[in-house]
């Protein structure tokens, strides 16, 4: 099995064009993983407390326009 250290060493050896390609791929891979985790948490109701807290702060005038 490949370790993170093995992967790091392989990435260090990539020529610039391949590094750019890898970077773009990894950015999409990481974003997709993050989005999936947020979706799972939302579907499981794990974000409800955060939403309620934000709405309560808004109702209490403790928020500001961005």
Question: What are 2-56's pLDDT values in tens digits?
Answer: 899 999 999 999 999 999 999 999 999 999 999 999 999 999 999 999 999 999 9
Residue 66 maps to a domain: no
Ramachandran class of 60: left when φ > 0, alpha when ψ lies in -120 to 50, beta otherwise: alpha
Two structure tokens written together for 29: 């891979």
- Total domains present in the chain: 1
Q: What is the pLDDT of residue 2?
A: 86
Residue 25 maps to a domain: yes
Two structure tokens written together for 43: 């579907």
Domain that holds residue 48: 4-59
Residue 46 maps to a domain: yes
> Rounded distance, CA 24 to CA 32, Å?
12
């Amino acid at each position: 099995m490949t370790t993170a250290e093995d992967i790091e060493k392989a990435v260090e050896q990539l020529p610039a064009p391949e590094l750019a390609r890898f970077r773009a791929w990894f950015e999409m891979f990481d974003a997709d993983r993050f989005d999936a985790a947020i979706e799972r948490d939302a579907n499981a109701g794990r974000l409800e407390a955060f939403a309620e807290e934000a709405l309560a702060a808004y109702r209490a005038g403790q928020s500001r326009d961005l």
